[in-house]
Amino acid sequence: MVGSLNKDSLKEAKREAIDLCIQGSGDKNCKVVQWSRNGCVAAAEGKLGNKFHLVTGAGKVGEAEQEVLTGCRNNGAKNCKIIMPEGCSLPQ
């Protein structure tokens, strides 16, 4: 899971995130699953039955990771863990 931070526009941030994903994975089906303006994003995954469950979220500085872990557990997933640490895109 990759991302892009502190770009001048949402379009530029999405383009960079998708390009980085394609470069890293070789998968041309990459897509943006979460974005935040003047905030932070994170992602967690957990096991739900025999499948993995992905949760993304956005929030204030210092809150995004806890938000996604809580969301993962609230959806019934087990062994939830952060797979993309909090990254923030904030005004300069």
Same-domain pairing of 72 and 41: yes
Say which DSSP state 32 is in.
-
Question: Looking up tokens 């990459």, which residue turns up?
Answer: 30
Same-domain pairing of 13 and 40: no
Say which DSSP state 56 is in.
E
pLDDT tens digit at each of 92 positions of the chain:
778 888 888 899 999 999 999 998 888 899 998 888 888 999 999 999 999 988 888 888 999 999 999 999 999 999 999 999 999 988 77
Say which DSSP state 61 is in.
T
Same-domain pairing of 12 and 47: no
Same-domain pairing of 44 and 82: yes
pTM of the model: 0.80
- Gap between the Cα atoms of 50 and 18, Å rounded: 28
The answer to whether 28 and 51 are in contact (CB under 8 A) is no
Tell me the three state secondary structure of residue 55: strand
Same-domain pairing of 88 and 47: yes
Domain count, the chain: 2
